[in-house]
A and B are shown apart, each in its own frame.
Chain A
């Protein structure tokens, strides 16, 4: 296990370098020099500010020197200072919002597994049954539904028409006055719609994958053996087949991470949740370039970390992976 882990982590280093190069390149897309943009947009920009920006980007130096010094700062955890009026370090702004986004994404992952795995398994076990057919249709539509539209419809139905769920923010106005239990239920109510919407895209993908995978496993010889030695159908399906079908699904979950993180922009903006996605959207609208770059970088690093965790847990669960 240990050599595999080392190999995987070493493999990440060129990817991390690649990520920083692309981020750096995207940053160069800004028309003119960043100082021009900043000073043109801000009538209060002083010579001092221009100077500060110049030194921030080191625009007077050749591009590879700029990259290296930017990278050095990055390694020290310095993502620069936000262009917004608070002028706070970008790293601080992101860090205070990151836990919310990660929590919602983790909750979505749990929901995806809890719902998609049973759907996929039952569809495969009862192939071509009514359940299987209905689920196939739902999954197919699930692939095509714009999640932000689904969010709007659910806000209209559950939030406005029925009045059951709050449609924005994480807390009610009277949050401070609620009991501890009341605060938890309040938070949970605020999270239901965002978590469902964020999980929705992954649900269709994983259940379809689980179905295909389960169908393949059921046809294997060892399942035939399990049946031949007289095990109950329950034991065959839920012990022998499910375990083997579940393993590769870990990889699919790893692959769904960028979608989840990317989707956080949409649901956090719609539901007014103060997470990293909303900060990203606001920074894009305000052209707060350092913050945009910082979040782009963090998003890619999170994806990489998620994939690493998925690969390592797959290898931990299935020794065949470590050897090959």
Chain B
């Protein structure tokens, strides 16, 4: 069975794909579908429980929580893609170089990976954010810069198993240079596992962003993000459960979606890897 048949037969993977597509649509259509302006303060209706007017209630400034969550979807999508894109780019290049050349280049890169993995990721991110300003761009870059190690190991392993294959020797025989062999001949064969790592990485980046924003070191108010709505939830924990419940559910569903999609791609691209 080919990749497509395998993937389309996997109902859970399709459910994941549906969630991811839905989130894209919500993010793109945010200005059209959000019922209120996410920044519109209404001090007459502060901390209103969910009602027909405000499906998910209002926050401590009377802003519509549903609208803020819809705009928050944009933020998490942006953070997830940019941070993971950066991590994949770094991991792909370092892993490819380490796996292709081997020897001391490999040793240096992999020791660097080992050292980076010693740091609790969240500590490293927080420390860097402490030195820079907390802003959406900074957290995207920092999450990316601290998340490439897994991809490096993955790509390196793929390269080690591929570099002595006949097609690589054929490419060498016709005089292709190293860069051409690495990026045009070997890398396409490693794309499936990179795609899986990317999909699962987006889920991880969204979780990290929400935790940072929750702690007040991520996306800064008034820009809405799921994490910083939850901060308001904590501040009003004894009176406004809706501020805590819905944004967290949104994060949960999003992460489940990306995880299902990622595992679906993995199972379909290499049936041997199936759990």
- B104-127, CB < 8 A from A: 111-112, 114-124, 126-127
Instruction: Write the A265-309 contact mask toward B (1 if CB under 8 angstroms, else 0).
Output: 110011000000000110111010100110110011001100100
Most buried by A among B118, B119, B210, B214: B118
Which A residue sits closest to B114, measured CB to CB? Answer: A15
Are the C-beta atoms of B214 and A148 separated by less than 8 Å? yes
Q: Is the contact region of chain A dominated by helix, strand, or loop, or is it mixed? A: helix
- With A269-B215, A287-B130: A300-B234 Cβ-Cβ less than 8 Å: no
User: What is the minimal beta-carbon distance from B153 to any residue of chain A, in angstroms?
Assistant: 13
Chain A contact residue count (CB 8 A cutoff): 53
Instruction: Write the B201-232 contact mask toward A (1 if CB under 8 angstroms, else 0).
Output: 00100010011001111000000000000100
User: What is the minimal beta-carbon distance from A317 to any residue of chain B, in angstroms?
Assistant: 23
- With A146-B207, A146-B252, A299-B123: A15-B244 Cβ-Cβ less than 8 Å: no
Give 12 pairs: A residue, B residue, CB < 8 Å, sorted on A.
A15-B115, A18-B112, A22-B116, A31-B131, A141-B252, A143-B255, A153-B244, A258-B118, A265-B126, A280-B123, A284-B127, A285-B217
Are the C-beta atoms of A152 and B122 separated by less than 8 Å? no
Which residues of A are at the interface with B, using a C-beta cutoff of 8 A?
Answer: 14-15, 18-19, 21-22, 26-27, 29-31, 140-141, 143-150, 152-153, 155-156, 160, 167, 212, 258-259, 261-263, 265-266, 269-270, 280-281, 283-285, 287, 289, 292-293, 295-296, 299-300, 303-304, 307
Q: Measured between alpha carbons, how far is A150 from B130 in the docked complex, in Å?
A: 26
- With A140-B259, A141-B252: A153-B131 Cβ-Cβ less than 8 Å: no
Q: Report B-chain residues with C-beta under 8 Å of the C-beta of A284.
A: 126-127, 129-130, 217
- With A144-B203, A149-B244: A18-B111 Cβ-Cβ less than 8 Å: yes
Q: Measured between alpha carbons, how far is A150 from B234 in the docked complex, in Å?
A: 12
Are the C-beta atoms of A156 and B237 separated by less than 8 Å? yes
Are the C-beta atoms of B115 and A22 separated by less than 8 Å? yes
Are the C-beta atoms of B130 and A300 separated by less than 8 Å? no
Chain B contact residue count (CB 8 A cutoff): 44
User: What is the minimal beta-carbon distance from A177 to any residue of chain B, in angstroms?
Assistant: 26
Q: Measured between alpha carbons, how far is A15 from B119 in the docked complex, in Å?
A: 11
Q: Report B-chain residues with C-beta under 8 Å of the C-beta of A150.
A: 248
Asked if B168 is at the interface of the complex by the 8 Å CB criterion, the answer is no
Are the C-beta atoms of A160 and B128 separated by less than 8 Å? no
Are the C-beta atoms of A262 and B123 separated by less than 8 Å? yes
User: What is the minimal beta-carbon distance from A134 to any residue of chain B, in angstroms?
Assistant: 15
Asked if B241 is at the interface of the complex by the 8 Å CB criterion, the answer is yes
Are the C-beta atoms of B122 and A156 separated by less than 8 Å? no
Q: Report A-chain residues with C-beta under 8 Å of the C-beta of B112.
A: 18
Asked if B22 is at the interface of the complex by the 8 Å CB criterion, the answer is no
Are the C-beta atoms of A143 and B259 separated by less than 8 Å? yes
Asked if B165 is at the interface of the complex by the 8 Å CB criterion, the answer is no
Are the C-beta atoms of B233 and A152 separated by less than 8 Å? yes
Which residues of B are at the interface with A, using a C-beta cutoff of 8 A?
Answer: 111-112, 114-124, 126-132, 203, 207, 210-211, 214-217, 230, 233-234, 237-238, 241, 244-245, 247-248, 251-252, 255-256, 259, 275
Which A residue sits closest to B217, measured CB to CB? Answer: A284
Q: Measured between alpha carbons, how far is A174 from B234 in the docked complex, in Å?
A: 25
Are the C-beta atoms of A22 and B119 separated by less than 8 Å? yes
Q: Measured between alpha carbons, how far is A152 from B227 in the docked complex, in Å?
A: 12
Are the C-beta atoms of A296 and B211 separated by less than 8 Å? no
User: What is the minimal beta-carbon distance from A180 to any residue of chain B, in angstroms?
Assistant: 32
Which B residue sits closest to A270, measured CB to CB? Answer: B234
Q: Report A-chain residues with C-beta under 8 Å of the C-beta of B234.
A: 152, 270
Please give 9 more A-B residue pairs, beta carbons under 8 A apart, in addition to A148-B215, A258-B118, A281-B126: A15-B115, A29-B132, A31-B131, A144-B256, A144-B259, A258-B117, A263-B122, A280-B123, A300-B118
Are the C-beta atoms of A148 and B120 separated by less than 8 Å? no
- With A155-B237, A281-B215: A29-B123 Cβ-Cβ less than 8 Å: no
Q: Report B-chain residues with C-beta under 8 Å of the C-beta of A307.
A: 118
Interface residue from B214, B237, B247, B252 paired with A144 (Cβ < 8 Å): B252
Are the C-beta atoms of A266 and B120 separated by less than 8 Å? no
Are the C-beta atoms of B115 and A18 separated by less than 8 Å? yes
User: What is the minimal beta-carbon distance from B262 to any residue of chain A, in angstroms?
Assistant: 11
Q: Measured between alpha carbons, how far is A19 from B120 in the docked complex, in Å?
A: 12
Which A residue sits closest to B129, measured CB to CB? Answer: A284
User: What is the minimal beta-carbon distance from A152 to any residue of chain B, in angstroms?
Assistant: 5
Most buried by B among A26, A144, A269: A144
Interface residue from B117, B130, B210 paired with A292 (Cβ < 8 Å): B130
User: What is the minimal beta-carbon distance from A147 to any residue of chain B, in angstroms?
Assistant: 8
Q: Measured between alpha carbons, how far is A295 from B120 in the docked complex, in Å?
A: 11
Are the C-beta atoms of A266 and B215 separated by less than 8 Å? yes
Q: Report A-chain residues with C-beta under 8 Å of the C-beta of B238.
A: 160
Are the C-beta atoms of A266 and B122 separated by less than 8 Å? yes
